[in-house]
Amino acid sequence: MVSRNDLERLTWYYVRSHIGNDTLLRFPNKSLCRYNIGFPYGPCPLNSTKLPARRVSVAPMMDWTDRHCRVFHRHITRHTWLYTEMVTTGALLHGDVARHLDFSDEEHPVALQLGGSEPGDLAQCAKFGEQWGYDEINLNCGCPSERVQKGAFGACLMAEPELVADCVKAMHDAVSIDVTVKHRIGIDQAESYDFVRDFVGTIADAGCRTFIVHARNAILKGLSPKENREIPPLRYEFAHQLKRDFPQLEIIINGGIKTLDEIDFHLSHVDGVMLGREAYHNPYWMASFDARYYDDGAAVKSRADILEAMLPYIRAQLERHGNGGGLKLNSITRHMLGLMAGMPGARAFRQTLSDSKRLAAGDPVLLLQALARMQPLAA
C-alpha cells in the first residue's frame, strides 16, 4: 500500500473512477493507475488514461505565468490547471529548450502553450513538451499582437481553419497527451456565430476534443493586445452555444470572469472556466477553488502559510540559478504582490516586497519582513 505521505510528494496523474465521470482520482504515475489500490477512496477499477481536471484553469499570460508564478499559484490551489506563457516553435527549435521548458514537479497539472503555424515544427515541439513532462499541449489561436501576426500564428490562424486542423493533427499524431486549442470567437468583422462554429467543427474533425474559447473577437489591426482584451464585447452566449452544438467536446470559457458567482454560472453551461488577470492580481481568490470545484476537503492554506511555503523554493532557485544564472529575487516575488489584495496592510506588504535595496540583497527573508507588516494577519 502506498502511504499518503509518499503520494503527496509525487507528480499526480488524474483518472476517472467507476463512481462516475465527474469523479477524478489522482495518482503519481501511470502504472499505479492500472491497479485497484485502496487510496484514497478504497478499491476502484481504473483505466490507465491520464485525464486532466480542467474545471478551473489559469490562462497563459505573457510575462506573467512563468514557472515561478505557477509554483506560487500551486501553493494556493492544488487542482486548478496552470498554463505556461506562449512558447514559439522557433524558440524551441533554435533556442535553449531547457530554459523554455524546465518546470517543477509540483506544478502539475500544467499545460504547455505553443505558438506556431507549421505542422511539422509544432509536432516536434509537442514531442519536446511531452518529453519534459507536460500534461497538455495547447495551440495559441487567440493572440492578436502584431509581433505574433508577423510570425503567422495566434489569432490570425482563425482565418485558416484547415491549416489549424493540419497543425492539430500533426501534434495529435506525435504525442499521447491531450492537444487543445485556445481561440477567439472571431476576427475583425467576422462576428457571426457561424464563423466560430465552423472553425471548431473543422478542428474537431482533426482530433481536437478541448477548445478554450476567449469570448471576444480579435481585432487584428488598430488595437493593442491590451485593448483587444477590453474593447471587443464579450459574447459568452457563443461559447455556451458551442457546448450545445458540440456536446461531445470539452468547451472551456475565458474572458472577463472575476467572481465565484460568474464561474458557477458558466459551469452550468460549459465544462470549464479559464481565468486571466483576476487570478494574477488577486491570487488568494483561488484558495477556495479546491473545495468548491473539486470536492477537496483539505485545509485551506492561509496567506502566511503560502508565503512560508514559498521560502524553500525561492532559496533553491536562487542557489541554482542566481549569480551567474542571472535569477533575481524579484523574478519570483513580483508574482506575489497581489497575495494580500483587499487586506488591511496590503499596501505596506507590496511596498516591502518592492523595496529595491532589500531585493538587491537577494535574501528571501524579505517575504517574512513583508508579512510582519501585515500582523496580525487573518487567513
Q: How confident is the model at residue 208 (pLDDT cuts 50, 70, 90)?
A: very high
To which residue does cell 519534459 refer?
A: 132
Q: What are phi and psi of 374, to 5 degrees?
A: -100, -5
Amino acid at the residue 1: M
Q: How confident is the model at residue 220 (pLDDT cuts 50, 70, 90)?
A: confident
pLDDT given for residue 374 in this prediction: 83
Calculate the average pLDDT of the chain: 86
* pLDDT at position 30 over 60: no
Terminal-to-terminal C-alpha distance of the chain: 35
pLDDT given for residue 222 in this prediction: 83
Q: How confident is the model at residue 149 (pLDDT cuts 50, 70, 90)?
A: confident
Taking residues 244-250, report their average pLDDT: 97
Kindly list the catalytic residues.
143
pLDDT given for residue 150 in this prediction: 67
Task: Name, in order, each residue with C-beta under 8 angstroms of 237's C-beta and a sequence gap of 6 or more.
Answer: none
pLDDT given for residue 17 in this prediction: 38
User: Cβ–Cβ contacts within 10 Å for residue 176, how many?
Assistant: 8
89-130: per-residue pLDDT in tens? 999 999 999 999 999 999 999 999 999 999 999 999 999 999
* pLDDT at position 375 over 90: no
User: Cβ–Cβ contacts within 10 Å for residue 47, how many?
Assistant: 12
Alpha-carbon span 85 to 27, nearest angstrom = 26
pLDDT given for residue 145 in this prediction: 82
**Residues forming beta bridges with residue 141, ordered by sequence position:** 183
Q: What's the half-sphere exposure (Cβ side, CA atoms, 13 Å) at 76? A: 28
Q: What is the dihedral of CA 206, 212, 216, 219, to 10 degrees?
A: -60
* Whether the Cβ atoms of residue 207 and residue 172 lie closer than 8 Å to each other: yes
Q: How far is CA 47 from the centre of its chain?
A: 25
* pLDDT at position 65 over 80: yes
Alpha-carbon span 131 to 173, nearest angstrom = 15
**Residue 95 cell numbers, joined:** 533556442
199: left (phi over 0), alpha (psi -120 to 50) or beta: alpha
* Whether the Cβ atoms of residue 186 and residue 158 lie closer than 8 Å to each other: yes
* pLDDT at position 357 over 70: yes
Give percent above pLDDT 70 in the chain: 84
* pLDDT at position 377 over 80: no
Higher pLDDT, 42 or 163: 163
